[in-house]
Amino acid sequence: DAMVIQNPRYQVTQFGKPVTLSCSQTLNHNVMYWYQQKSSQAPKLLFHYYDKDFNNEADTPDNFQSRRPNTSFCFLDIRSPGLGDAAMYLCATSRGKETQYFGPGTRLLVL
């Protein structure tokens, strides 16, 4: 089945230690998104790639970076995680501006 895959499902990192979250998709969608979702809150868009074009949201901290080496993969890099970065990170994909399909998420814990 075509799908959005996120690895790992759970990630524990130390305060200030760089961490990378991974997303891959078999839908062949040209747009990939990264959202941050804190407990009992709505998902918050961090940035997205429209094809190879990177689009950062205005209030996304510089600590968060992203890479998209090819159509299928997209990475979220947190350069120096703080305690406030503990959250669920959701990847989504879409064909152009059409419906977004989400992966299962990666729960990040910062110690």
Partner 1 sequence: GEDVEQSLFLSVREGDSSVINCTYTDSSSTYLYWYKQEPGAGLQLLTYIFSNMDMKQDQRLTVLLNKKDKHLSLRIADTQTGDSAIYFCAEREGQGNLIFGKGTKLSVKP
DSSP state of 10: E
Give the C-alpha separation, 71 to 57, whole Å. Answer: 21
Q: Looking only at Cα atoms, what is the longest distance across the chain?
A: 38
Q: Which of 30, 65, 75, 104 touches partner 1 (CB under 8 A)?
A: 104
| Region near partner 1 per CB under 8 A, out of 12-20, 66-74, 79-87, 91-99 | 91-99
Nearest distance from residue 80's CB to partner 1, in Å?
26
Q: Which of 66, 93, 103, 108 touches partner 1 (CB under 8 A)?
A: 103
Structure tokens at 35: 């959202």
Q: Which of 46, 92, 108, 110 touches partner 1 (CB under 8 A)?
A: 92
Of residues 20-39, those binding partner 1 (CB under 8 A): 31
Q: Does 96 bind partner 1 (CB under 8 A)?
A: yes
**List of residues 6+ apart from 91 with CB closer than 8 A:** 4, 6, 21, 23, 25, 32, 33, 34, 35, 74, 76, 102, 103, 105
Residue ranges that bind partner 1, judged by CB under 8 A: 4, 6, 31, 40-43, 45, 48, 90, 92, 94, 96-105, 107
